[in-house]
Amino acid sequence: MIQVYKRINKSVIEVDPQEITEEYDFTDQWVHMSNPTDKEIELVSSRTKIPEEYIKAALDSEERAHCEKDDGVMMVVTDIPITEEDDDKYTYATLPFGCVTTDSTIVTVCLNETSVINDLMAGRYVKDFNIHKRTRFLLQLQYVIAKKYLQYLKQIDRASQRVQTELEKAMKNEGLVEMLSLEKSLVYFSTSLRANTAVLDKFPRMIKFFEEDEDLWDDVLIENRQAIEMSNIYRDILNGTMDTYASIISNNLNVVMKTLTVLTLLIDTPAMIAALWGMNTGVPFEGKLWGFWVVVGINIAVCIALIIIFAKKKMLK
């Protein structure tokens, strides 16, 4: 799918899709492509003079974050956070997002639809959104991506707190599986954020910053660094929580096994004594009317002795 945006006066509006034909002029406009077809890639490439491999770079879900510049065409591929719905629950992952700029056109490419575009258009995180200033657009895009990471990290933290509350009430496998999924998401985020940082570090050598963009550049670095720190903190907390629950499960299993062992001894010992007196051979008190009560008394005495021993060893708690 192709979406084209252009600036009219001080507003950025979307071009009617029916106007986008093979002869459409993309000059001074922003073209966004979501999971484009080969025909759409060929159209944009031919009209903007951008190599097809630059456009296709972000369409590989395993593509690493990187940037390169050649003949006035700059390509930046960074990872963006996404949400996926799975069994009425949201999971988090990352996906490559490409931004290619020329002297006259901006092209962004992603394998799936993403809320980053909506955030840019709505001015949710940035103001004075201008597609005519290539450097500022690129920095604003990276700023929105960093903000998106922070937003999803807060959601992950709230989800982990909810699951912990549920696990405190009842230790269920579903809760532990969800915790593991959140931990995996944080690993994805942390890895992608570090890769994005490596790309951002190359910007000063590849892009000429204007004086009015310096503050925005600092904000991008700060937000990205904060996202990395939050991701690492939440991951450490989640790792510690998972280790704690593993210890609790192991301890509960030990308690159950100890209880079963005590009950087995208390039940089997009297049964063994009674079995000995029930043999078809000569036994003490055989033929005595009071012999039964003697055996019962021995059983009671043995049980009391075992209970005292277990109590002293604190095995009855």
For residues 109 and 50, the answer to whether their CB atoms sit within 8 Å is no
Mean pLDDT of all residues in 227-255: 84
Q: Provide the pairing of β-strand 105-110 with 29-34.
A: parallel
Mean pLDDT in residue range 110-131: 82
CA-CA-CA-CA torsion sign (86, 88, 94, 100): positive
> pLDDT class for 316, splitting at 50, 70, 90?
low
Structure confidence by residue, pLDDT tens digits, 71-110: 888 899 999 998 887 766 778 899 999 999 888 888 999 9
Tell me how many degrees the CA angle 301-304-310 measures, rounded to the nearest 5.
Answer: 140
List the single range of 9-23, 141-155, 189-203 with lowest mean pLDDT. 9-23
If you write DSSP's letter for every residue of 253-307 in order, what string do you get? HHHHHHHHHHHHHHHHHHHHHHHHHTSSS--TTTT-TTHHHHHHHHHHHHHHHHH
The mean per-residue pLDDT over the stretch 181-198 comes to: 91
63, 10, 53, 55: which is closest to 32 by C-alpha?
A: 55
Q: Which residues of the chain form beta strands (DSSP E)?
A: 2-8, 11-14, 29-34, 66-70, 73-86, 89-101, 105-110
Contact 97, 108 (CB under 8 A): yes
What are residue 125's phi and psi, to 5 degrees?
Answer: -120, -20
Q: Choose the most confident range, by mean pLDDT, from 82-96, 230-244, 251-265, 276-290.
A: 230-244
Could you give the percent of the chain with pLDDT greater than 90? Answer: 18
DSSP label at residue 27:
T
Residue-wise pLDDT tens digits, 193-202: 999 999 998 8
Phi then psi for residue 212, to 5 deg, are: -75, -10
| pLDDT value at 161 more than 80 | yes
- Alpha-carbon distance of 198 to 192, in angstroms, equals 10
Letter for the amino acid at 144? V
Q: Which residue is associated with the tokens 């509350």?
A: 165
Strand order from edge to edge, sheet including 89-101? 11-14, 2-8, 29-34, 105-110, 89-101, 73-86, 66-70
Q: Are 207 and 135 in contact (CB under 8 A)?
A: yes
189 CB contacts (<8 Å, ≥6 apart)?
Answer: 81, 92, 94, 149, 152, 153, 227, 231
Q: For residues 185 and 138, give the distance between their C-alpha atoms in angstroms, rounded to a whole number.
A: 26
pLDDT of residue 134: 83
3-state secondary structure of 128: coil
**Coil, helix or strand for 156?**
helix
